[in-house]
């Protein structure tokens, strides 16, 4: 099916919230990694989200250009073309854009969508994330509200963050963040809802923090407090009425137990970012391939090697398959299997 339009994307998010499951939002950096996600979603009859970070966009544009917006456009166009051949719904999203990169990353992408919409097409991306968590909350929301207005005009959903996801991931480094910054307060959640809901008719997602840490950690090393999400949602409903609540996003999930992941689904998490684990899944079979075929991938002692094993397609197929299996695990963890909305 085609990449979704605004109406279908809203239906996807409503479906997840109502039925207490979440979509895996998988960071991709290439055609091969995007293909792995689409294949996994199709095999488990799950809808999902493919996302590109600033670092992923830079990589996709090539080392000579390092143009994050251009690379993101390239990946998005590939997904728009290939998704037509799959019988599931997929949304396109951009991940973690800090304030200093809004002008070089988000605004060119929004402008590209503006051109497409003016020509009668869907926007290039269905949603964008502005990460203003390093800013004071008022400044964070001032920028977010302006971006939300622009996105809403084009049928694009905005994701924001308040509080800090610890650790380091894809150029976003919060390893020295104070402990209290790792937990969004109910008061902050009320303020975020107040500011964003002032944009009439707009849809938005919120990455509240509850001890999340980017990177690789064994289960038990990350001190999550999912109950913070419930407390924040309760505060929002108390202030704005029973129908008021967030679409919540879970960042920094590596090392989280299945019980912790599933608990967040009870509190309104409808999207969980997955990157570190799929990076490893993509790389692991290539390492195995090179170790097992050392004298084939290298021209050792004047020999010619073995083209069948040093052809990149050989090991990249293995990498794509391995990543696909890890995405399938994420779908199952988030209770998303068999829940595609279809056309």
Residues acting as catalytic residues: 95
CA pair distance 144, 129, nearest whole angstrom? 9
Instruction: Report which of 252, 262, 270, 264 is spatially closest to residue 204, judged by C-alpha positions.
Output: 270
Instruction: Report which of 243, 234, 220 is spatially closest to residue 266, judged by C-alpha positions.
Output: 234
CA pair distance 269, 69, nearest whole angstrom? 28
* Assigned token pair, 121: 């097409």
* 208 membership: H or E segment, kind and range: strand 204-208
Reduced to 3 states (helix: H, G, I; strand: E, B; else coil), residue 92 is strand
Q: For 161-194, give one letter per residue: b (16+ CB within 10 A) or e.
A: bbbbbbbebbebebeebeeebbbbbbebbbbbbe
CA pair distance 279, 29, nearest whole angstrom? 10
């Amino acid at each position: 099916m085609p990449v979704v339009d605004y109406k279908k994307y809203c239906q996807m998010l409503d479906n997840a919230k109502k039925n207490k499951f979440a979509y895996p939002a998988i960071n991709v950096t290439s055609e091969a990694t995007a293909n792995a996600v689409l294949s996994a979603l199709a095999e488990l009859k799950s809808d999902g989200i493919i996302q590109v970070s600033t670092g992923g966009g830079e990589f996709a544009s090539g080392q000579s250009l390092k143009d994050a917006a251009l690379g993101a456009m390239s990946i998005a166009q590939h997904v728009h073309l290939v998704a037509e051949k799959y019988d599931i719904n997929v949304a396109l999203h951009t991940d973690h854009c800090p304030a200093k990169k809004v002008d070089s990353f988000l605004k060119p992408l929004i402008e590209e969508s503006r051109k497409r919409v003016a020509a009668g097409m869907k926007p290039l991306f269905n949603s964008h994330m502005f990460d203003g968590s390093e800013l004071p909350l008022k400044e964070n929301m001032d920028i977010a509200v302006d971006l939300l207005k622009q996105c809403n005009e084009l049928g694009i959903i905005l994701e924001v963050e308040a509080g800090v996801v610890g650790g380091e991931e894809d150029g976003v480094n919060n390893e020295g963040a104070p402990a209290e910054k790792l937990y969004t307060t109910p008061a902050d959640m009320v303020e975020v809802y107040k500011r964003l809901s002032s944009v009439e008719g707009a849809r938005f997602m919120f990455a509240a923090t509850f001890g999340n840490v980017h990177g690789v950690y064994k289960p038990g090393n990350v001190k999550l407090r999912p109950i913070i999400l419930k407390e924040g949602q309760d505060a929002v409903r108390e202030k704005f009425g029973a129908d008021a609540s967030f679409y919540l996003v879970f960042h920094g999930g590596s090392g989280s137990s299945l019980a912790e992941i599933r608990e967040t689904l009870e509190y309104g998490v409808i999207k969980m970012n997955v990157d570190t684990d799929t990076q490893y899944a993509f790389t692991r079979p290539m390492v195995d391939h090179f170790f097992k075929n050392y004298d084939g991938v290298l021209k050792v002692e004047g020999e010619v090697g073995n083209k069948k094993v040093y052809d990149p397609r050989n090991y990249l197929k293995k990498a794509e398959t391995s990543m696909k299996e890890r995405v399938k695990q994420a779908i199952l963890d988030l209770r998303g299997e068999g829940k595609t909305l279809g056309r």
